[in-house]
Amino acid sequence: MSTAARRPRQASTVAVRGRKLAVTHHPGAAGRVPLVLCNGIGSSQRLFDPVVGALDRDRPLILFDVPGLGGSAAPRVPYLFSTLAAALHRVIAGFGYRSADVLGISWGGGLAQQYAFQYRRRCRRLVLVATGTGMLMVPAAPRTLARMSTPRRHRDPAYAERIAGDLYGGSARLDPARTISALHNAPTATPRRAYLYQLMAIAGWSSLPFLPLIRQPALVLAGTDDPIIPPVNASMMAGLLPRGRLHRYDGGHLALLTEAGELAPVIDSFLDEDGDERSER
């Protein structure tokens, strides 16, 4: 049994804005602000199992599968980050919370930025991990972008292990099997349509124009060896966020999963500082 599985949890399917989303709620301690975890492209909420196990056990957590992934129903039509953020807002409110902290990794970092901007009075703090500003950012190398354009690495573990070092960097260069084990911590393969819709959601989106308007405290976590998100993007984001701060770590794109024990305390410390960790639930 994983550490994440030992946390009290409530799994359900929530109908919101015409979509059926698979949601998991770890209640945590009463009066605490929940942390919402937004996962990367092609991955279900199970991606966060190592992180869930490493975070403060008293912190309430909310995880969900985007349309078409994990336990969520397949999307009938493409969606935008703005509409997905609206659905997420209703999920959070449905658990009785008036505010939340939001963490996003990679693709999920775009959704987290959109949520913080769209619901600035309901988002207390923002954590952005291995992510960028969408369409307007310093891009990865063409070969890396080509590999990211299809879900093959999510569907073919042998292929994923062959390219893991070059694609994810960090510890994946020395131990690709460990990285792929974390990436494939889900019972089903990634559907092509769900992956395509995620690509479409971010294709015409950028947070660059509105980053200066996100005034919540924001922590930007970036690896020094991340082929997918060149490190310069993190510096740019931290500089544009009025209350942004940058934390660099020696690692790659998926270090939050493979080195959760090192990065989770950094996140907990940021979320708990200033003594304002209270919920309006």
Give the Cα separation of 104 and 110 in Å (integer). Answer: 7
67's tokens = 């349309």
Q: Is 149 a catalytic residue?
A: no
Rounded Cα distance between 238 and 248, Å, is 11
CA dist 140 and 159 (Å) reads 20
Instruction: Choose among 99, 103, 147: nearest CA to 123.
Output: 99
Catalytic residue, chosen from 72, 106, 171, 207, is 106
1 Cβ partners below 8 Å, 6+ apart? Answer: none
Q: How far apart are CA 21 and CA 19, in angstroms?
A: 6
The enclosing H or E element of 161 equals: helix 157-168
> What are the E-state strand segments in 46-148?
61-64, 100-105, 123-129
User: Identity (one letter) of the amino acid at 240?
Assistant: L
- What positions carry a catalytic annotation? 106
